[in-house]
Amino acid sequence: MTAPGPIIPPNAALTVGGRLDAETHAALTEARRLRDAWAAATLAAQAAAHAAAQAQLHEALAALGAWRQEAEAQLVRDAQALALALAERLVRTDLSAALATLLAGLPPATDPAGGSALVVSLNPQDLQALGVPPAGVTLLPDDALPRGAIRVAGPAGEITRTVRGQLHQWLAP
């Protein structure tokens, strides 16, 4: 193997009277040994540098793969949140009309004390969109309720529902 490095002249170039003295021969042999050791060390250093670079590349590719998976998962979460927000907006647009229809269909009811049998609590913004409640139903604003939520209290108990909760229930696998 011819390795790059210092050029060492052939023995014939250093012969005197057709002979190479022992001291010159030993110096040439040592020079060639050192040149070959230098070439081997250079190749070993290059191989080590290549292996280190390859290991760094593998680490970077693994990190990129992990980042890609997280980015895809975040994209799915963002798409689901956007779909939910759009659905809420669509449902909320028709919520007032649907609630008015629902309340209008309830039979008049009174509690034994003579007051309203049903108390319906809504977010104040949702409440503004409704008209006059039917007999036996009291509408109350409740700032604690988010938009699209309703709480109905009556003689049999109380229920609270939200548009978001209902959509999550419908979308659940």
| CATH architecture for the domain at 65-171 | 2-Layer Sandwich (3.30)
**Distance, C-alpha 7 to centroid of its chain:** 59
Percent of the chain with pLDDT over 90: 18
Q: What does the mean pLDDT of the chain come to? A: 75
pTM check: above 0.85: no
Distance CA 35, CA 161 (A): 85
Q: How many CB atoms lie within 10 A of CB 47?
A: 10
Nearest to 34 by CA among 72, 74, 3, 61: 3
Say yes or no to pLDDT of 1 above 50: no
> Hey, which of 12-16, 31-35, 95-99, 164-168 has the most confident mean pLDDT?
31-35
Residue 137's contacts (CB-CB under 8 Å, 6 or more residues apart) are 103, 106, 116, 117, 118, 119, 120
Average pLDDT over residues 5-30: 69
Residues 33 and 131: their CA atoms lie apart, in Å, by 103
Instruction: Write the pLDDT tens digit of every residue in 47-56.
Output: 999 999 999 9
What tens digit of pLDDT does each residue of 90-100 get?
Answer: 665 555 566 66
39-91: pLDDT as tens digits: 889 999 999 999 999 999 999 999 999 999 998 888 888 887 777 777 666 66
Residue 139: its H or E element? strand 137-141
